[in-house]
Structure 1
Amino acid sequence: MPKYPAIAEQELVRQCKHGDLKHQELLYKQFYGYAMGIGLRYLANRDDALEVVNDAFIKVFNTIKSVDEKLPFKPWLRKVIVNTAIDRRRKNLRNLAEADLDEAAFIATPALAVSKLNANDIVTMMQLLPELNRLVFNLYEVDGYNHEEIGVMLNIAASSSRVYLGRAKERLRKMILQQEEKG
């Protein structure tokens, strides 16, 4: 049994705009799973994802007054979580050595059927990707940003974004092939 009765998304947002702590808790509980799913796509471990989710909800509660109650809340929340994850990664990216990606070759392989994989297999594979590859893959393939936008977000060249995406896809293909050989 839930602690509080289910409340419509618009009502939750409206009450959170008034600073109602009970409704902030309800909003957090209602969207926690969704937020963690996004966080885990961008971060290698659960603790980092949880930290990003909590930071994102703090941002949400601090800026929720700007939300248009007539628009769906989830897309706005997703954007806050993604941006919070990117901010965290951006801090860590400064420490990574950067290869000369502008001259790297892109190697393509034919698309593979992944019908035997389940969601956990895919999440595990994503978490095994190098940090920049995973970040660019998520931004481009999952969240729909283009390479120019990704370049601005991560402070890299758009061509570097393309190379990171290509490398991520190639690594995923290899992991899928290995999985298919096992099964």
Structure 2
Amino acid sequence: MSEEKINLTLILQGCQRGSRNSQRKLYEHFYGYAMNVCLRYSKNREEAVEILNDAFLKVFTKLDQYDPDYPFRAWLRSILVHAAIDYYRKNHKHPAHLELTALTDVAKEEPAMPRISPDEDMIPVLQQLTPVYRMVFTLFVIEGYKHHEIAQMLDISVSTSRSNLLRAKEKLRSILEKGRNRSTKSN
């Protein structure tokens, strides 16, 4: 076993015993990773911190459900994503459902989008999207959920999920093109 795994195991055991010191160590160790995930779902850093703190509270209360045979980071990510969804539901009681007027087969109409990596450079761009667009885009493109799963999580229809993804991609393309135009004008 690696030293990091042994330390993580000891920290997790301490957390299960309610050790504040172990909880602090776990929080500090995964803070950067967790914040990066939360920033993709939030409009700003303050919102991300709120999601992150809610998620860590869930981690500490549900740690007995963690299976040590699986990577802790994957389990943590799942909790972070669900905390972001819970935050979205709580704070966006009337989501921006789109009019679905001539959106028959949105999947066929989706314009090509450059591959987006979930790196920190993309976070400010994602934060310019509306909450519903950001949520659907992040769940679909970055997390890999299917439209029927997103629809169920967000309590929207599959076609609304598809149309929100389409609109999010269009908005992102517009934002990225404006950024490129600004950089070419300044050269």
What is the TM-score when the length of structure 1 is the normalising length?
0.86
Contact 1:132 1:164 in 2 (8 A): yes
CA distance in 2, matches of 1:71, 1:11: 16
Q: Which residue number corresponds to residue 174 of structure 2?
A: 174
- 1:1-183 maps to which residues of 2 (within 5 A)? 8-101=7-100, 103-104=102-103, 106=106, 108-112=110-114, 119=119, 121-183=121-183
CA RMSD of aligned residues (A): 2.4
CA distance in 2, matches of 1:56, 1:177: 35
Displacement after TM superposition at 1:120 (Å): 5.1
Displacement after TM superposition at 1:26 (Å): 0.2
After the TM superposition, list the runs of 4 or more consecutive aligned residues in structure 1 that deviate by more than 3 angstroms.
102-114
Task: Kindly provide the CA deviation profile for residues 101-139 of structure 1, in whole angstroms up to 9, marking residues without a partner as x.
Answer: 36437554444588xxxx554211100011111000010
- State the one-letter code of the partner of 1:43: S
Secondary structure of the corresponding residue to residue 11 of structure 1:
helix
CA distance in 1, matches of 2:71, 2:40: 22
Secondary structure of the corresponding residue to residue 98 of structure 1:
coil
Secondary structure of the corresponding residue to residue 23 of structure 1:
helix
Could you say if the C-alpha distance between residues 88 and 110 of structure 1 is closer, same or farther in structure 2, counting changes exceeding 3 Å?
Answer: closer
CA distance in 1, matches of 2:177, 2:143: 25
Gaps of 5+ in 2: none
CA distance in 1, matches of 2:110, 2:151: 22
CA distance in 2, matches of 1:56, 1:179: 33
Displacement after TM superposition at 1:84 (Å): 0.8
Task: Kindly provide the CA deviation profile for residues 61-87 of structure 1, in whole angstroms up to 9, marking residues without a partner as x.
Answer: 011011112221111111111101101
Count residues in correspondence: 177
What is the TM-score when the length of structure 2 is the normalising length?
0.84
- State the one-letter code of the partner of 2:132: L
Could you say if the C-alpha distance between residues 156 and 80 of structure 1 is closer, same or farther in structure 2, counting changes exceeding 3 Å?
Answer: same
CA distance in 1, matches of 2:50, 2:113: 35
Gaps of 5+ in 1: 1-5
CA distance in 2, matches of 1:71, 1:113: 29
Higher deviation after alignment, 93-102 or 156-165: 93-102
- State the one-letter code of the partner of 1:66: Q
Displacement after TM superposition at 1:157 (Å): 0.6
- Identity, in percent, stands at 38
Contact 1:13 1:69 in 2 (8 A): no
Secondary structure of the corresponding residue to residue 71 of structure 1:
coil
Contact 2:36 2:120 in 1 (8 A): no
Contact 1:14 1:69 in 2 (8 A): no
CA distance in 1, matches of 2:113, 2:97: 28
- State the one-letter code of the partner of 2:134: R
